[in-house]
Structure 1
Amino acid sequence: MRKKIITSAFSNLSTDQRIEKICRTLYENGYEIELLGNNWGGAEKMSRPYKVSRIPLISTSLKTAYFEFNWKLYRELKRKADKSTVLHANDLDALLPNYWLAKKLGIPLVFDSHEIFSEMPAIQGKMSQKLWRYLEKKMVPDIQFMITASSGYADWFKNKYNVDATVVQNAPRKLSGSIEIPENKPRILLYQGVINPFRGIDKAILAMHHLDNIIFKIAGDGPMKKEYEDLVTRENLQHKVCFLGKLLPEDLRKITPTADCGMSIEENGGESYFYSLPNKVLDGIQARIPLILSNLPEMQNIKRQFDIGEIIKDHRPESIAEAIRKVLDKGRKNYLPELDKAADFLCWENEEIKLLKIFDKASASL
């Protein structure tokens, strides 16, 4: 009999590549999957081989949406789960209902912490941070099965709560076939991901003043998009910077390999960013594009293993421009041998082995 897993997340699910990869791996390895999200931020049509549903929210603010979702999620889980179910909670904002029901039914719970939710820049110094920290402190030390997205995160949870988290990096699947390197004129710098503060996007925009014959493409959406669009206009950089908007994962995968240089220059906006290994790093490596990187631990670690780009000295626009220039002067083809090695190692095919071990252990405990 196929063992049942209910995966839940505060997400509209359509662009969450980590959840999609995890659910597909579990489905393809014999598990019955049901995925629960919500309609916060949209409800695009999705085609998945397993059951997907979104909890409708009526809240108009994120603060009340969290409460509404957790209350409704508990009711949904209570209706759908039984003694032969494994619960799978993605991030702290979906953990409480899963935790309660796992305790009530005596069933296993796998917690996937995509980041250190309680230390995200968006809640630094706010009352909500105290609430998330309280919930984290109450639940995480009691979690038996936990995965997280970077070794830095795993070390943080071990030091803070003495919990052992398995590192399952959010690496993409290996790209099949050979990758053609376009001769871009002008050359393309690419940012992909959520347009949030502390991502270095505004500094990279200003760096365009110091670079010629380069177009900066920004793929994604987020709370800072309007502010950064206004910055581009104020700085008269409309001819050098373009916003591609929010892209579905399959469309983004077509865009990434067309760039000459990618970027992941997150600033130290708190421990969640400090210990992160952003998806865009692994996506860029798999697409064989060299990168400019922040001088943060996880990115330093990759750069030590594989020469796949340049680490910026600091976040001054001049320093960012200097790093971009170094990458472009060396040329994408000259980075290919190291990118090939990194892509062969940092791929989902390696990560899903660790993922399956955790879920097999959890399901064996039923």
Structure 2
Amino acid sequence: MKRKKIIISAFSNLYTDQRIEKVCSTLFENGYRIELIGNDWGGAAKMSCPYPFSRIQLTSKSLKTAYFEFNWKLYHELKKKADQDTILHANDLDALLPNYIIAKKLNIPLVFDSHEIFSEMPAIQGKLSQKLWRYLEKKIIPDIKFMITASGSYAEWFKNKYGIHPVVVQNAPRKINFIIEIPENNPKIFLYQGVINPFRGIDKAILAMHHLENVIFKIAGDGPRKKEYEELVSQENLQNKVEFLGKLKPEDLRKITVTADVGMSIEENGGDSYLYSLPNKVLDCIQAKVPLIMSGLPEMRKIKNQFDVGEIIKNHQPESIAEAVNLILNRGRESYQEELNKASEVLCWEKEELKLLDIFQKASQ
């Protein structure tokens, strides 16, 4: 049977979005005809994909107006490209409205993937835009038939709020199918990977470097707080102990991750979106067999209770962060390998994609 066409859209420049890349690849490899639509907000770096993709050009100068412009232009793109043989796939709330309108007009299936709880993100807390996103969420989400989300706690939140039952498809990486050799680093490498945003604990981890000897803190990523944190490093005279690697392609980031002695995911409770998240970096470190320090948020505690893959910090004081890092360094990366191996067999894309394929199979019927 000929598979349907799937138009996947996201407010993203697509370059470093690992979840979208994995979803597209899985669907493409399983015979669906894929078309991916993003935008050029934050740049339009060259990409190569086995399926067609395009980026909507945005002229907006602020993120607020960029959202409106993208949704307007996405609506017209979907109107041109969607037909009765199409499944629409919206990534996050900021791409949902045009998909929802076109799906209703054409009476075609829509799959909504909520990577986070968009209306509860720290960046919009207490702002007018938060009211708008909450309104949109309340109007549309209860009417969604096919929804996926990135953590069990997110699914529970949406169920309690809107009576909907999303399928949990964790953003786990693909299995690393080669033997990882543990390097003898000197100094030891403490790694943060991801967006440089508030509530990620990065500033506290920088200050923790005062309490760590023979350790270098590498920060892989970019984001709105990068300049502020670079200034903090300078003020604290930690230039020899902290290194900013910039934004890396997913394949280059993976090469860096496997070299680390300790990873970190010490998100703070910056609202429900952070509180209930399962950060990608946790699953990336597990797959790279790197033990990590974690905050005691629900999804991370769940993993720690199931697999001994690292240490939970007592609190976000720099001394407590340093204590957890030292605990891992003193035990050694080797001593975590058995548990990391077990976790990597369970928490991998090969398991998650089966749930993804199941939901698109149902949407195709």
Q: Deviations over 1:24-54 (max 9, x none)?
A: 0000001000000000000001111000100
Across the aligned residues of Structure 1 and Structure 2, the Cα RMSD in angstroms comes to 0.4
Q: Which amino acid aligns with 1:328?
A: L
1:329 aligns with 2:330: yes
Matches within 5 A, 1:242-321: 242-321=243-322
Where 1:181 maps in the other structure, the secondary structure is: coil
1:195 alignment partner in structure 2: 196
2:6 alignment partner in structure 1: 5
- Counterpart CA distance in 1 for 2:261 and 2:178 is 19
1:148 alignment partner in structure 2: 149
1:216 alignment partner in structure 2: 217
Q: Which amino acid aligns with 1:213?
A: N
Matches within 5 A, 1:1-366: 1-364=2-365
Shift of 1:118: 0.1
Q: Which amino acid aligns with 1:15?
A: T
TM (norm. structure 1) is 0.99
Q: Deviations over 1:95-135 (max 9, x none)?
A: 00000000000000000000000000000000000000000
Where 1:183 maps in the other structure, the secondary structure is: coil
- Counterpart CA distance in 2 for 1:136 and 1:121 is 17
Q: Which amino acid aligns with 2:252?
A: D
Q: Deviations over 1:154-209 (max 9, x none)?
A: 00000000001000000000001100100000000000000000000000000000
Q: Which amino acid aligns with 1:37?
A: G
- Counterpart CA distance in 2 for 1:358 and 1:44 is 31
Shift of 1:363: 1.0
Shift of 1:148: 0.2
- Counterpart CA distance in 1 for 2:68 and 2:315 is 39
Q: Which amino acid aligns with 2:93?
A: L
Shift of 1:212: 0.3
4+ runs of 1 displaced by more than 2 Å?
Answer: none
Where 1:137 maps in the other structure, the secondary structure is: helix
Q: Which amino acid aligns with 1:291?
A: L
Aligned-pair identity (%) = 76
Q: Which amino acid aligns with 1:125?
A: G
Q: Deviations over 1:237-291 (max 9, x none)?
A: 0000000000000110110000000000000000000000000000000000000
Where 1:69 maps in the other structure, the secondary structure is: helix
Shift of 1:2: 3.0
Shift of 1:3: 1.1
Where 1:266 maps in the other structure, the secondary structure is: coil
Matched positions, count: 364
Where 2:301 maps in the other structure, the secondary structure is: helix
Q: Which amino acid aligns with 1:148?
A: T
Q: Which amino acid aligns with 2:83?
A: D
Runs (5+) with no aligned partner, structure 1? none
